[in-house]
Amino acid sequence: MSESGSQEAAAASTGAGAEGGGGGAANGSSDSPTKGAPRPAVGNKVTVVLGAQWGDEGKGKVVDLLAQDADMVCRCQGGNNAGHTVVVDSVEYDFHLLPSGIINPKVTAFIGNGVVIHLPGLFEEAEKNERKGKGLKDWEKRLIISDRAHIVFDFHQAVDGVQEQQRQEQAGKNLGTTKKGIGPVYSAKAARSGLRICDLLADFTQFSERYKVLAQQYKAMYPTLEIDIEGELVKLKDYVERIKPMVRDGVHYMYEALHGPPNKILVEGANAALLDIDFGQYSTECGCWAGFARVWECHPQNVGEVYGVVKAYTTRVGIGAFPSEQSNDIGELLQTRGKEVGVTTGRKRRCGWLDLVLIKYAHMINGFTALALTKLDILDVFTEIKVGVAYKVDNQIIPHFPANQEVLQRVEVQYETLPGWNSDTSAARSFEELPENAQKYVRFIEENVGVPASPPVSCTTHSQPSKLNLHPYPTTITTTTTNPFILSMSCSPPPSFI
């Protein structure tokens, strides 16, 4: 693992020293504004990594690559419904709540206000990964939690399960949630009845009263719900001293990081664009926001590069429209070769051809500056490869991605067929090493999505620590299942569906 990037530099600019120590309103201390030279108007730029499909695109792999040269890695939304897998020295680490970049021992990890935290799940995840190897050494000293993050309680998870059961009984199908309480806790947040980390660390008596009121509200809605109120309060009180050194006023903390000494700051999105509660497929989305600017303590002017992670084909977990799904031998082959099984749920993923209508739509929302194309080598065995380029409804091309679920169920995907390359690309270390048809496939994606150019990026791998070959032009990151590499990216016109 590359150890470039300094934890000490991050600590100096944020007050997050190796000793931890609670800060801000969370524990009664105050961080006085830094005196001296005027702050820069913009400050450090952050690099953002977001999923461009329905999740499972390989965001963890891309974050792992970029985190090796980062000072700070931030998680901005979602909960432990997400799942990222990172392999270091042949050891597989699974992340659900922790930013996966914490695997770099030089990185400070930050959990932002848009994340919902199940405290038992957080510590279980960290301790489980810690037992696997050295990757999470001193993680408690390197983790910072925003005091504005909302708490997922055990009864939120129980309610999630009850709601799924009701959907199954009433409508004959459920949403296929992870039952991690994500929908219920975000609902409580919107209803202004939720409880945050800062509430837990303030007056525990007041916190307990508010907790009991919230629990009774859920019991009134779901009479069969069993809640061990006193038992969970005891557990929560036990967590107070453990998390207190990690908690900061998130807004102040990130402002200091962004406007202090130079820092390389990476933001990882836990949930993908098509799972966004506003811009995803309502009502089968995950219930949290996939965009980052509105759910994280960072001004938009501090956003630099935005990488859209795109799997070379499309997958989805659970129910909902999936226009390019292949419920046939092709889908089965993609599922088998890609080992498409959910990290959190263990469910097999539905598979289909790459759908560029989705990618363009995600780009319109998030403004990708480059694409990170993953698992290209899964397509190595195909003689020909189809790519969805447009949608038809009632025999008419539609110039947009449908908001309505029923309309999306009816779309007819218009495909372009590209020749396959029928050769192993897993060992490719540069764009030139790809077969000609694989290069054409990547170029086809770039040209159709129309993502503007971005500055070059250097990445390393854990198995091959040497620097990778770079083109002298702006780049798109591309990875296979085993080896990542960088390729040049062409400038294209703005995206169009027609």
> For this structure, is 56 an active site residue?
yes
Query: Is 84 tagged catalytic?
Result: yes
291 labelled binding-site residue: no
Q: Decide if 252 is catalytic.
A: no
Domain boundaries, the chain: 46-147+249-458, 150-245
Between CA 378 and CA 359 the distance in angstroms is: 19
pLDDT at site 41: 61
Least Cα distance to 159 among 73, 223, 105, 67 occurs for 223
Question: Binding site annotation covers 205?
Answer: no
pLDDT of residue 196: 97
Question: In angstroms, rounded to a whole number, what is the distance separating the alpha carbons of residues 187 and 229?
Answer: 20
State which fold the 150-245 domain adopts.
Answer: Adenylosuccinate Synthetase, subunit A; domain 2 (1.10.300)
Residue 83 annotated as part of some ligand binding site: yes
Contact, 59 vs 268, CB < 8 A? yes
At residue 280, the pLDDT reads: 61
207, 199 Cβ separation under 8 angstroms = yes
User: To 10 degrees, what angle do helices 229-243 and 119-132 make?
Assistant: 60
CATH number of 46-147+249-458: 3.90.170.10
pLDDT (tens, 9 = 90+) of the chain, 498 residues, equals 333 333 333 333 333 333 333 333 333 344 444 455 555 566 788 898 888 888 788 887 888 888 888 999 998 888 888 777 778 888 888 888 998 888 888 899 999 999 999 999 999 999 999 888 777 888 999 999 999 999 999 999 999 988 888 887 787 777 778 888 898 999 999 999 999 999 999 999 999 999 999 999 999 999 989 999 999 999 999 999 999 999 999 999 999 999 888 889 999 876 666 666 665 654 544 444 444 544 456 677 888 888 888 999 999 887 788 999 999 999 999 999 998 987 666 778 999 999 999 999 989 888 888 888 889 999 999 999 999 999 999 999 998 888 888 898 899 999 999 999 999 988 887 778 899 999 999 999 988 988 743 322 323 333 332 222 222 223 444 444 444 443 333 323 323 322
> Which entry of 141, 189, 299, 440 is annotated as an active-site residue?
189
The answer to whether 375 is annotated as binding is yes
User: CB-based burial of residue 447 (10 Å sphere; 0-12 exposed, 13-18 middle, 19+ buried)?
Assistant: middle
Q: What's the rounded Cα separation, in Å, for the pair 382 and 142?
A: 45
Catalytic residue among 64, 69, 84, 259: 84
Query: Whole-angstrom Cα distance, residue 116 to residue 113?
Result: 8
- Give the pLDDT score at 470: 27
